[in-house]
Amino acid sequence: MKVAVCAQDNHIDARVDPRFGRCPYFIVVDLDSGNWEGVQNTGTQSSGGAGVQTAQLLVNRGVNVVLVDRIGPNAIEVLGRAGIQVYGGIHGTVSQSLESYRQGKLTILSRANSPSHGGMGRG
């Protein structure tokens, strides 16, 4: 069971990042072994569609659960269709968020809680 948390830095005690698509790192924790690794989010450099690209990254990593503060509609749709559960409203540090998750204190998100940037058009 792999859980990914939006983080501002590449560390288990880093502060969580409120954004999904443009957060610089994900801390991916394997709950079975307790091991964690930091994954750099390549989506932050993308010109639009960051949320979608970030969701693709987590799908490719085989993540089962994502802990976020805010997430847009496109990204949550991708994660939902890939069978990844999304929990919202995290704050503080990555390890605090994981603890809240373990204690069942986080609520599952079925809808976006942040509007889309609407992609990027020629418009």
Residues that bind other proteins (CB under 8 A): 22, 46-50, 52-53, 55-56, 59-60, 70, 72, 74, 77-78, 81-82, 114-123
Q: Is-contact 8 15, C-beta < 8 A? A: yes
Give whichever of 41 and 74 is closer to other proteins, judged by the CB atom.
74
| Closest CA relative to residue 93, chosen from 4, 5, 2 | 5
CB of 53 to other proteins, least distance (A): 5
Give whichever of 75 and 98 is closer to other proteins, judged by the CB atom.
75
How far is it, in rounded angstroms, from Cα 58 to Cα 55?
5
CB of 102 to other proteins, least distance (A): 26
Give whichever of 23 and 98 is closer to other proteins, judged by the CB atom.
23
